[in-house]
Chain A
Amino acid sequence: MFILGFLARRLAQGALIVFLVSFLIFTLLRVIPGDPVRLMVGGMAPDELVEQIAAEMGLRDPIPVQFMRYMGGVVQGDLGQSFIRPASGAAVGGAQFDDATRSERARVLTLIADTAPFTIQLALLSMFFALLVATPIGVYGGLNQGRWPDRLALYIGSLFVSLPNFWLGIVLALLLSVHLGWLPAIGYQGFAYTILPAIVLAVEIIPFILRTLTVSVAQIMRESYISAAYIRGLSRTRIIFAHALKNASVPLLNLLGVQFSMLLGGVLVVEFIFDYPGLGLLTINAVLQRDFPLIQGIAIVTSAAFVLINIIVDLVSTSIDPRLDY
């Protein structure tokens, strides 16, 4: 009962957020200078033709009208069609104005659905790497606050967070791929292509996990129920694993929810560098090509993902710490 009420409320809030995001990005893309139709038909096309195509596509209607039309589609699961990409695959870039194949252009939803699995694979793998490295160091640092494990966590965190991801990507590609030949780097022809981007992304995530874990573990070890547990006769192992780590996992989960947008930024850049065919690369290309429907679609999908992840994070946190219910 509680769960249902919670879900209903959060989903309603989430829908509102997605709506706001759509409106904002829709308006922004139409208010800022730069005419996409000009880009579509090419610089050589006569102005009348630009106007004609724009009118056909409804781009000269008032923005609220355009927006309502667009949202009408979104509600039915239709995110529209790309301005630029053909249904067959590669981007056509500045198409000719007499191009008759406009109706053949790719559906935004299909483009996103095709690329999303790659990004999810990349995100999961990098999360796995990050947790693998950061959990032991962070927990150990938190248990030994002020001593060397704690400093180690601090230094690793500070150094990793100072590595610009695009630069690290280039350097690692040069070293591991070009010079040593251990890992493939550019494009995607199999799972191995995910590893190098995932490492770069993991380096970006690790400092945040380290920071949260050391602080929360150290804080929890100072709680009175921890020292009381020793007096009550529980063993140190049990206290750390059954009580301290359980409590420390809540802030870690929340971190995931809050830093989603940072993760997204990392994915974008890393995919761009490694030419990894995920959502990030799709986004950057969409922006560079001013493919408005695609940008809008991606914004809507990512904000929906954000909402869902935060709902899941809250649900899991509440099941770990029931106080959050009330």
Chain B
Amino acid sequence: MTVETPLLEVSNLSVRAGRDPEASLILNEISFCLEARRILGVIGGGGSGKTTLARAVVNWLAPPLRVSSGEVRFRGQDILRFAPEASRSLRGKAIGYIGGDPAGALDPTLTVGTQIVEKLRAVEPDVTRQEAKERVIELLAAVRIPTPSQRFNEYPFQYSGGMMQRAMIVDALISKPELLVADSITQPLDVTVGAQILRLLRDLTEQFGTAILFISASLPTVADVSDDILVLDGGQMVELRPTAELIRAPGHPYTKKLMDELPMLWSKDLGARLKPAPAIAEPILRVSNVGKTYSISPRSGIGRARRLQAVRNASFDVFAGENFGVVGESGCGKSSLMRLLTALERPDTGTITFEGKNIFDQGAAATKAFRRRMQLVLQDPYSSLPPQASVGDIIAEPLLIHGLGGRAARRAQAMEMLREVGLPAACFDELPMTLTAGQRQRVNVARAMILEPQLLIMDETLSALDQTEQGRLLDLFERLQAQHGFTYLFISHDIAMVRRVCARVAVMYLGEVVELAQNERLFFDPGHPYSRALLSAAPTLEERRYRSEDCLLEGEPPSPIDLPPGCAFASRCPHVYETCLKRNPALTDRGNADRAACHLLTQGSAQQKDHAQ
């Protein structure tokens, strides 16, 4: 390879959806260079054409998309003009590709190892099967997959999402490519797992000397890994500059807007939004020692049923008029907790009281009455509304269910709600299909509000929305709270959102509340190592308070089925010591009603106790 030609040179690349010269332009005149061993980040929102760019670079555009002009030169040759066969072997060998859907990236009927071997031998036919297998196992070990020779023979469905993404890194790097295209690789993963994957990718590509085209929708993530950043907006290249420069002084209004929308975790001026909980008030919702275990019987019908401990010993109070947050990653028991709180399921242990009454101690009529006072706003704006009913009917339905008002009264009230959540009256007779995601979530809010409940549970209500729309809805919530005196319980995986709106926060990990703290305390003085790990992995452009390298060990969260004794976080905790593996810590008071469950907090006294025994 000559020093003069860059590894990848894209010039004036345009992509249209269809052969028609009038067909809509997906990418417009994109040009950039990528030198060997460099990392170029591409940032853009939904519909910006970033995935199309990734596919064009590997010469795999599925119809109707096609390149209408421009070139993609790899080592000086235009790969868009390669014969299919040549471009195929180039794709697998010299250019690696990792996508954002690790769960669906491999054939579910073959083992992961076989498929990586298959790929290696397809692009390098000289490698023997045995050699290939050895190389794969070696690399599986390098991406820190435990017991790689055993994992080699497992099927994709036996891998967790993070594990699968590691395997896909192996798949991409196995042929020692010079260029790696990484398209939204951390998007489906939990932040702590995503942080681990990014760290790994950086180390490995440095080792292999691979150049990366790193594509993501999250500016902090891109800024974290890239040397240079290309900003895409609606298929246009709006900016291409070195990372540090771009962050310091964004040149284009779109880049500025992106940065302005980023949540700020550490700036202290958030306090105004957060009303502290009234210390003396009786809690509106009291959750005490709630646990829920599901038993999973094996498919063959023979053998012991296994226990999945979805919620373990959860306790917290929510006070009237406050914003309470429950935060945690996938599998932490948030959704199970939500089902318990809304009386969809009964807990095995503990009690839940709402306005002083146990919500399970009553008959069907009382449950129905409880459901008037407490409402749920769901996560997915696409499946949370019945597809066949009109918006007006959906909003009015709760009234019908509870037998409130006549037809005209219901209609008028639904109309009023529609206005209150900021939807145009014209939506009233539309089907939800015609609405945008943000509008649908407003319909959800309107439907929940119409019964004038006391408590609104927001189950990942904002997760599916972009930053701008999230901000608007949060403003709406605030206004409604001021008008109607709602209490909000936010269930979320998004620590930044929680930072913005919740006065008090419960952090959950593997079914347990590991920390319960006031907003400021949680972010500036977390009591649990997991809280710190979560904070260290949160994407932000601010100077990091906690470095992910210090807060999180490599390794996957354990399975909630048949949990080992001891602290559930022990497998990833940098501060782990032997007591952690033996006993599970209980919530310890840290003063001011803040509590955390970690042996480190009680280390002194615990050791004394051990000694005494």
Interface residues of A (CB under 8 A from B): 2, 5-6, 8-9, 223-225, 227-235, 238, 242-243, 246-247, 320-323, 325-326
Given contact pairs A233-B89, A320-B109, A5 touches B101 in the complex (Cβ within 8 A): no
Contacts A225-B107, A323-B108 aside, 8 further interface pairs with beta carbons under 8 A come to A6-B300, A231-B97, A232-B97, A233-B92, A234-B92, A242-B118, A323-B109, A325-B299
* A9 x B302 contact (CB < 8 A): yes
The digit string for B73-117, where 1 denotes a CB below 8 A from any CB of A, is 000000000000100111111000101010011111110000000
Name which of A224, A225, A234, A323 has the most chain B CB atoms within 10 A of its CB.
Answer: A225
Report the bound CA distance from A268 to B93 in whole Å: 57
A225 with B89, Cβ < 8 A, contacts A9-B302, A232-B119, A233-B123 known: no
Question: Are A228 and B105 in touch, CB under 8 angstroms?
Answer: yes
Determine whether the beta carbon of A234 is less than 8 Å from that of B109. no
Nearest to B175 among chain A residues (CB) is A233
B535 at interface by CB-CB < 8 Å = no
Q: How many A-B residue pairs have CB under 8 A?
A: 85
| Max chain A Cβ within 10 angstroms of own Cβ: one of B97, B106, B109 | B109
Assembly CA distance A323 to B85 (angstroms)? 33
What are 24 contact pairs spanning A and B, CB under 8 A?
A5-B302, A9-B300, A223-B104, A224-B99, A230-B88, A230-B91, A231-B55, A231-B99, A232-B172, A233-B88, A233-B91, A233-B92, A233-B123, A233-B175, A234-B118, A238-B118, A242-B118, A246-B109, A246-B110, A247-B107, A247-B109, A322-B109, A323-B155, A323-B157
Which 4 residue pairs are nearest across A and B when measured between Cβ atoms? A233-B92, A5-B302, A5-B300, A224-B104
Chain A neighbourhood of B109, CB < 8 A: 246-247, 320-323
Partner of A224 from the list B85, B105, B110 (CB cut-off 8 Å) is B105
CA distance A232 to B58 in the complex (A): 10
Is the CB of B403 closer than 8 A to any CB of chain A?
Answer: no
- Tell me if B64 counts as interface (CB < 8 A to partner A): no
Pair A233/B108 contact, Cβ less than 8 Å: no
| B104 adjacent to A234 (CB under 8 Å) | no
Which one, A223, A234, A326, contacts B299 given CB within 8 A?
A: A326
Contact flags (1/0) for B452-483 with A, using CB distance below 8 Å?
Answer: 00000000000000000000000000000000
Given the complex, which residues of A lie within 8 Å of B175, measured CB to CB?
Answer: 233
User: B21 at interface (Cβ–Cβ under 8 A)?
Assistant: no
Say how far A221's CB is from chain B's closest CB, in angstroms: 11
**Contact, CB under 8 Å: B106 / A9:** no
Q: How far is the CA of A238 from the CA of B88 in the complex (A)?
A: 12
For residue B303, CB closer than 8 A to chain A, the reply is yes
CB closest chain-B residue, reference A239: B107
**B302 lies within 8 A of A235 (CB):** no
Contact partner of B93 among A2, A9, A233, A243, CB < 8 A? A233
Neighbouring B residues of A320 by C-beta, 8 Å? 109
Q: Which residues of B contact A2 (CB under 8 A)?
A: 300
Q: Is the CB of B101 within 8 A of A224?
A: yes
Q: Which residues of A are found within 8 Å of B91, using beta-carbon distances?
A: 230-233
A residues less than 8 Å from B58 (CB atoms): 231
**Is B406 among interface residues, defined by CB-CB distance under 8 A?**
no
Q: Mark B285-307, 1 if CB is under 8 A from A, else 0.
A: 00000000000000111110000
Q: Are B62 and A227 in contact, CB atoms less than 8 angstroms apart?
A: yes
User: Min CB distance, A245 to chain B, in Å?
Assistant: 11
A243 and B119 alpha carbons, distance in the complex (Å): 13
What is the size, in residues, of chain B's interface with A at 8 Å between Cβ atoms?
35
Whole-angstrom distance between the alpha carbons of A326 and B122 in the complex?
31
Q: What's the Cα separation between A266 and B299 when bound, in Å?
A: 35
Chain A residues with CB below 8 A from B97, complex form: 231-232
CA distance A273 to B55 in the complex (A): 59
Per the bound structure, the CA–CA distance linking A242 and B106 in Å amounts to: 12
B60 in contact (CB, < 8 A): yes
User: Nearest chain B CB to A247's CB is how many angstroms away?
Assistant: 6
The interface centre, meaning the residue of B85, B105, B300 with most chain A CB atoms within 10 A of its CB, is B300
Q: How far is the CB of B56 from chain A (nearest CB, A)?
A: 12
When distances are taken between beta carbons in the complex, the residues of chain A under 8 Å from B101 are 224, 228
Return chain B residues, CB-CB under 8 Å to A246: 107, 109-110
With a cutoff of 8 Å between Cβ atoms, the chain B residues found around residue A223 in the complex are 104
Residue of B nearest to A12 (CB): B301
For A243, list chain B residues within 8 Å (CB): 107, 110
Q: Is the beta-carbon distance between B122 and A225 smaller than 8 angstroms?
A: no
Q: How far is the CA of A323 from the CA of B122 in the complex (A)?
A: 26
Contact residues in A for B299 (Cβ distance below 8 Å): 325-326
B190 close to chain A: CB less than 8 A: no
Q: Which of B162-195 contact A (CB under 8 A)?
A: 171-172, 175
A322 partner residues in chain B, CB cutoff 8 A: 109, 155, 157
Do residues A326 and B93 form an inter-chain contact, with CB atoms below 8 A?
Answer: no
Residues of A contacting B118 in the complex (Cβ-Cβ under 8 angstroms): 234, 238, 242
Q: Are B303 and A321 in contact (CB under 8 A)?
A: no
Check A5 against B301 for contact (C-beta < 8 Å).
Answer: yes
Bound-state Cα–Cα, A247 to B156, Å: 14
B60 touches A230 (CB 8 A): yes
| Complex alpha-carbon distance, A224 and B300, angstroms | 30
**Contact string against A for B residues 47-68, beta-carbon threshold 8 Å, 1 for contact and 0 otherwise:** 0000000010010101000000
For B106, list chain A residues within 8 Å (CB): 225, 228
Task: For A9, list chain B residues within 8 Å (CB).
Answer: 300-302
**Assembly CA distance A323 to B156 (angstroms):** 9
Could you say which residues of chain B place their CB within 8 Å of the CB of A326?
157, 299
The residue on A at minimum CB distance from B94 is A233
A235-B108 contact, Cβ under 8 Å, with A5-B303, A9-B300, A326-B299: no
A323 CA to B106 CA in the complex, in Å?
13
Q: Are B104 and A231 touching (Cβ within 8 A)? A: no
Q: Which residue of B lies closest to A242 (CB)?
A: B118
Measured in the bound complex, the distance between the Cα atoms of B123 and A238 in whole Å is 12
B residues less than 8 Å from A228 (CB atoms) = 99, 101, 104-106
Cβ contacts under 8 Å, B110 to chain A: 243, 246
Q: For residue B89, which residues in chain A have a CB less than 8 angstroms away from its CB?
A: 233
Cβ contact within 8 Å between B119 and A234? yes
Q: Which chain A positions have C-beta within 8 A of B93?
A: 233
CA distance A234 to B107 in the complex (A): 12
Min CB gap B240→A, angstroms: 25
CA distance A164 to B323 in the complex (A): 69
A232 to chain B, nearest CB (A): 5
Q: How far is the CA of A320 from the CA of B85 in the complex (A)?
A: 30
Chain B min CB distance to A131 (Å): 21
Which chain B positions have C-beta within 8 A of A232? 91-92, 97, 119, 171-172
Expressed in whole angstroms, the Cα–Cα distance for A223 and B109 within the complex equals 13
Q: Which residues of A are found within 8 Å of B92, using beta-carbon distances?
A: 232-234
A177 to chain B, nearest CB (A): 45
User: Can you list, as one digit per residue, whether each of B216-258 has a CB less than 8 Å from chain A (1) or not (0)?
Assistant: 0000000000000000000000000000000000000000000
- A319 to B, closest residue via Cβ: B109
Give the docked Cα–Cα distance between A225 and B109 (Å).
11
Q: How far is the CB of A13 from chain B (nearest CB, A)?
A: 9
